[in-house]
Structure 1
Amino acid sequence: MKRKIDLIRVQASPLSRSRGRLTVGGVSYPCVLGRSGVAATKREGDGVTPRAALPLRGLFQRLDRAPRIPSQLAFRAIRPQDAWCDDVCDRRYNTLIQRPLDQNAEERLTRGDRLYDVIVPLGWNDAPIVKGRGSAIFWHVSRENNAPTAGCVAVAPAVFRKVLPRLSRHAVMIID
């Protein structure tokens, strides 16, 4: 059995602040970063992808869109009421919450597009949570036009199918 990979490296492109390369086990893939590029400091809504070593906190997936991707990461099927709280005034800031379907949610995980068909929450501002420091840094599916993210790391859907089965449950993403 092959040894599982513990490290994912994301490097920003010198040519575009919202583009980069994601490298796993010696194989490199294009990725999309935040509209404001990569920076050491981050705050809610700034569009920055944080420069940091971030643990992978699990795997969320829409099973109504594709079969489950094999992975050692903790798994959770995305449900219609799932949302991520990015309201700095809410005591549940930067956590997974449940919202009734008839209520608006800032970051509903069940979307009409494919962006959140696969989500790997990254360990940003979660131990401890500091309000306003930024919420929900995800590794998720990129838009078809590769438009910048709001601060997340995004890749083509096929990358997840290639990479996730190779990762250890203790994998870390280093963004620089």
Structure 2
Amino acid sequence: MTPEDIVVTPTGARFRGRRFPCTVGRGGIVAEKREGDGGTPVGVHRIVGMLWRPDRMARPADWAVPIRPGDLWCDDPRHEDYNLMVRAPFPASAEVLRRADPLYDLVILTDWNWPQAEAGRGSAIFLHRWRRPGFPTEGCVAFAPAHLRWIAGRIGFETRLVVRAAG
């Protein structure tokens, strides 16, 4: 591990000498990630992108890509664009990225099951804001909004998300 890594354990996250409360998937931290299990996968995951809502916040990093109306994330394991950003209209199941709530106002993308996604291994693992402290995600890692913005302003493509199991 390096100081550039965001290290997540069941009790929180460490990055650049600071500790942050965070939440993980409703299925906990899992060694064998499966579609729909709600687990956050153990491992070392590269940061591969950042998305943000320009109508709601300033650009968090010069390499962040704006979330536009019609941006979606394909979550259909049977579709060829599974686990990729796509545009509406889209014929398969996909999650709306430009949400009415602020959950995805800032999204940090990892390389979990990307870019060549395997059906059954689970869709994207994002870093995003939490709904509220302690409320689990569907497998992503979630932070308080101010902490997520602080992290986003200090990461780069050398940053990795290191998820450790309990114990």
Q: TM-score, normalised by structure 2?
A: 0.90
**1:1-176 map, 5 Å:** 6-13=4-11, 21-70=12-61, 74-100=63-89, 106-144=94-132, 146-176=134-164
CA RMSD of aligned residues (A): 2.0
Identity %: 38
Say whether the 8 Å CA contact 2:23–2:143 is kept in structure 1: yes
Unpaired segments ≥5 residues, structure 1: 14-20
The AA in structure 2 aligned to 1:139 is L
The answer to whether the Cα contact below 8 Å between 2:133 and 2:144 also exists between their aligned partners in 1 is no
Deviations 1:89-145 (A, max 9, x none): 1111111110139x8853110111111000011110114321111111100110035
Could you tell me the TM-score, scaled by structure 1's length?
0.85
5+ residue gaps, structure 2? none
Structure 1 runs (4+) greater than 4 angstroms displaced: none
Give a deviation string over 1:45-67, Cα, whole Å, max 9, x none: 11000001000111100011111
Secondary structure, counterpart of 2:5 in structure 1:
strand
What is the number of residues matched between the two proteins?
163
Q: Relative to structure 1, is the Cα distance of residues 137 and 96 closer, same or farther in structure 2, using a 3 angstrom cutoff?
A: same
